[in-house]
Amino acid sequence: MTNPHEVSEKAAPKESKIHGAQPQQKNRLSQLSLAALGVVFGDIATSPIYAIRECFHGEYGIDVSHANVLGILSLMFWALVMIVGLKYLTFVFRANNHGEGGEIALMALIRGKNRPSENRRKLGILALGLFAACLLYGDGMITPAISVMSAVEGLAVITPLFKGYVIPITIVILVGLFLIQRHGTAKLGRVFGPVILVWLCFLAVTGAIQVAHTPQVLSAVFPWYAIHFLVINKLQGVVVLGAVFLVVTGTEALYADMGHFGPRPIRLTWFAIVFPALVLNYFGQGALLLVNPEAASHPFYAMVPAWAMVPTVLLATLATIIASQAVISGAFSMTRQAIQLGYLPRLNIRHTAATQIGQIYIAPVNWLLMVCTISLVAGFQSSSKLAAAYGLAVTSTMIINTVLFFVVTRRKWHWPLMWAAPLAGLFLLVDVPFFAANLSKIFHGAWFPLVIGATFFTVMLTWAKGRGVLEAKLHKVMSPVHQLSVDLANHPPNKIEGDAVYLTGNQNVVPVALAKNLKHHKVIHNRTILLTFQVEDIPRVPNLEKIQTEKLGGGLHRVRACYGFMEDLTLESVLSLMRDQGLDLDPETTSFYIGHENLVIAEKSAMMRWRANLFIFMSRNAADAISFFNLPAEQTIEVGVRLEI
C-alpha cells in the first residue's frame, strides 16, 4: 500500500502551473483514495452484512411491513448523510491538529500549550476527550468479533451442516489475524484497497439488481418516511434506532485516519464510491424484504444467488478481516499517542515496515485485544447478540466529539455563539436519539465497551497523576540546574575524558544519576549533556525546531529534544540533529546515564492507596529506557533512587 505520509496531499508540492504536475497530482490522489478505501472504510463497508438484519430480526426486531421497511431505509440514509457526510466530512474534519484527527489529537488541540495542571478549567473537557479515546478500545475488541463472525455465519446459510463450526472457524481466523500482527501488514496492506473496492462494487451490483426489480423503494430517500416510522412505532421505533446506528459504526475511523491520507481523498472516496454503494445495498435489501419478508433472518445473503454463495462468504470474510485490521492498527496508533502525551507508561513499540511510519506493533495491546475479542465470540455465540453490545460506546464518543468540536469553534476559531451553538445543536439532535436508543442495550452486552473504556480511563489518569506526583517529589529533593553550574564554576570537581549524556524528565533540576555521581565519585565528564525529551501537543515538529541547546558553562550543556505526539523518540535522530548544532557526539564512545526510581507508598501519600499501587505496578512493568530510546546497552549506566509517593 502506498505510504500515506510520502504521497499525502498535505505534503504535495504546489506545481499546478508546472507542465505535467496536474497528472502527477491526480495520480497521487488516486493512490491515496484507493489506500483510504482499505484502511478508512473497511469497518463501515462491512455493516451491510448485519445492519438491516438487526432491525427486523435482532433482539428488538420490528415487523417487516411496507411502512417499516421504508422508514428504516430512510433512517439509514439520513444517518449516513447527517453523521458521515455533514458532521464529520464537512465540519469536524476542519477541527484537526496540524492535519491529524482523532480524539487524542482533538484533545491535544484544545489543550494547546497549557498543561491541565496550569488551567484547571480545561480538566473536564480534557477528561471527556480522553474518555472518548478510551471507549474506542472497547469497540476495537467488538469490531473484529462481530465483523468476522457475521461473515462466517454465511456458511450456515449455505448449509445447516456448518452451523456448529461457525464459532471455531471465527476463533481460528481471529487468532491468525492477531498472530500476524507482529510480522506487520505492509504486504497485506497492498491488497486492502483493491479488495474493499471489489467488495463495494459487489455491494452496489447486488443492491442495484434488487432495486431495479422494486424501484419504489427509492422513495425512502425522503425524510418523512423516517419521521412517520418514529411517530407510528413510538418507543419501539426509538429502540430500533440502536440497530439503525450500525450503519455508521466505523465513522470515527474517518476522523482518526485523516492524518494518513488528508481530507480530500477521504471525502472523494466517500461521496464517489462508498456512499453510493452502501445506499444501493441497503435499499436493495429493503427491496428484497418488500417482496420476501421471510428473508429478514439474513437479507444480505438472501440477495446472493446459490451459485455465488461460497465466493460471497469468502469475499465477506476477507473484507471483515480488513475491517478488523484497521481497528487493531488504530488501537496501536492511539496507544502510542497516549504514551507520547504522558497518559500511559513506556511500552516497546516495534516498527514493522521501514517505509511506513504508521506500521507499528505493540505486543501487550495486541494480546489484550486478542484475548478479549475471542472471549466475546465464545461468550456471545452469535453476531446478532454481539450487535446488542455494539453502539453505546460509539454514540458516547460521537456526543463527546460534538462537545469538543463546539469548544474548538468557540475557543480556537472564535465563532460567535449564534453560529456555533445551532450547529452543535443540530449534531446533538442526531447523536442524542441514537445514544438513548443504545442505552437499552446496556444489559445485553453494551456494558462491556463501557467497562473497558472506564478501565483504560482510570489507568491513564492514574499514570498521569502518578507522574505528576513523582515529578513534584523529585523537584523537591533535587537541586536546580542553574545552581549546579555555579557550583561547578566555584568548586570544579575532577574531570575525566569523554562525553556523558544524562537523560532527565525535568530540564530544570539535576538528574538523579548526575547528582549521585558527583556526590560519591567527585567526578564529571569533560562534556556533560543534560538531555530532555519533550512531546509537544502537535503531531510533528519540524527538524529545524526539534533541538534546543544551551551552554551552561563548565562543560555542561542542556539539550531539549522536542517531538510531536505522532513521532518516535530515537537517540539516533537526536544525536544527528545535535551534530548540526555543534554538539558532535560519538555514540560509540559516549556514556549514557539514566535514573531509575524505586517507588514505595508513603504514609501520607498524595494518591489513594489503590491508585498508588496501580501506578507502582505500571512503573515497574514499563519498558526500560534503554530499549525505548534505543540506547547502547553496553554504554548505559542506570542509577537508582528510592522515593516515596
The pLDDT of residue 260 is: 67
> What distance in Å separates the CA atoms of residue 376 and residue 146, rounded to the nearest whole number?
9
3-class secondary structure, 390: coil
* Residue 19 in domain: no
Please write the tens of the pLDDT for every residue from 294-315.
Answer: 988 889 999 999 888 889 988 9
> What distance in Å separates the CA atoms of residue 267 and residue 279, rounded to the nearest whole number?
16
* Residue 13 in domain: no
Q: Are residues 487 and 419 in the same domain?
A: no
Q: Are residues 521 and 372 in the same domain?
A: no
Dihedral, CA of residue 263, residue 535, residue 120 and residue 478, to nearest 10: 180
Question: Among candidates 321, 342, 323, which has minimal Cα distance to 179?
Answer: 321
Per DSSP bridges, beta strands 360-361 and 556-564 are: unpaired
Dihedral, CA of residue 627, residue 632, residue 636 and residue 641, to nearest 10: -10
* Residue 3 in domain: no
Q: Are residues 490 and 546 in the same domain?
A: yes
φ/ψ of residue 98, rounded to 5: 55, 45
Question: Among candidates 312, 37, 1, 315, which has minimal Cα distance to 197?
Answer: 37
Q: Which of 391, 424, 441 is the last residue of a domain?
A: 441
**Degrees, nearest 5: CA angle 176-180-182:** 140
Most confident of 17-21, 224-228, 329-333, 386-390: 224-228
> What distance in Å separates the CA atoms of residue 497 and residue 594, rounded to the nearest whole number?
19
Please write the tens of the pLDDT for every residue from 359-380.
Answer: 678 889 999 999 999 998 988 8
The pLDDT of residue 450 is: 86
The pLDDT of residue 59 is: 66
In this prediction, what percent of the chain has a pLDDT beyond 90? 24
pTM for the model: 0.79
Domain count, the chain: 2
Q: Are residues 321 and 278 in the same domain?
A: yes
3-class secondary structure, 617: helix
> What distance in Å separates the CA atoms of residue 98 and residue 10, rounded to the nearest whole number?
10
> What distance in Å separates the CA atoms of residue 9 and residue 12, rounded to the nearest whole number?
5
Q: Which of 380, 407, 441 is the last residue of a domain?
A: 441
Q: Are residues 423 and 484 in the same domain?
A: no
Q: Are residues 476 and 609 in the same domain?
A: yes
Question: Among candidates 336, 331, 398, 360, which has minimal Cα distance to 143?
Answer: 331
* Residue 550 in domain: yes
> What distance in Å separates the CA atoms of residue 238 and residue 230, rounded to the nearest whole number?
7
The pLDDT of residue 386 is: 83
Does the structure show a pLDDT above 50 at 444?
Answer: yes
The pLDDT of residue 355 is: 46
Please write the tens of the pLDDT for every residue from 454-511.
Answer: 999 999 999 988 888 888 887 777 778 877 777 777 777 888 888 889 988 877 888 8
CATH code where residue 236 lies:
1.20.1740.10
**Residue carrying the nine cell digits 421471510:** 294
The pLDDT of residue 513 is: 82
- At 415, the pLDDT band (50, 70, 90 cuts) reads very high
Q: Are residues 236 and 282 in the same domain?
A: yes
Please write the tens of the pLDDT for every residue from 618-636.
Answer: 988 888 888 788 788 888 8
Contacts of 72 (CB under 8 A, 6+ apart): 52, 55, 56, 62, 229, 240, 244, 286
Q: Are residues 379 and 489 in the same domain?
A: no
* Residue 15 in domain: no
The pLDDT of residue 348 is: 83
* Residue 347 in domain: no
Q: Which of 388, 407, 441 is the last residue of a domain?
A: 441
3-class secondary structure, 230: helix
Q: Are residues 361 and 510 in the same domain?
A: no
Residue 220 belongs to what domain range? Answer: 31-340+352-441
* Residue 448 in domain: no
Q: Are residues 481 and 408 in the same domain?
A: no
The pLDDT of residue 216 is: 94
3-class secondary structure, 498: strand
Dihedral, CA of residue 404, residue 407, residue 412 and residue 415, to nearest 10: 130
Contacts of 239 (CB under 8 A, 6+ apart): 60, 437, 440
Question: Among candidates 469, 479, 482, 489, which has minimal Cα distance to 615?
Answer: 469
Q: Are residues 421 and 484 in the same domain?
A: no
- Contact (Cβ atoms closer than 8 angstroms) between residue 97 and residue 537: yes
Q: Are residues 437 and 470 in the same domain?
A: no
* Residue 7 in domain: no
Does the structure show a pLDDT above 90 at 387?
Answer: no
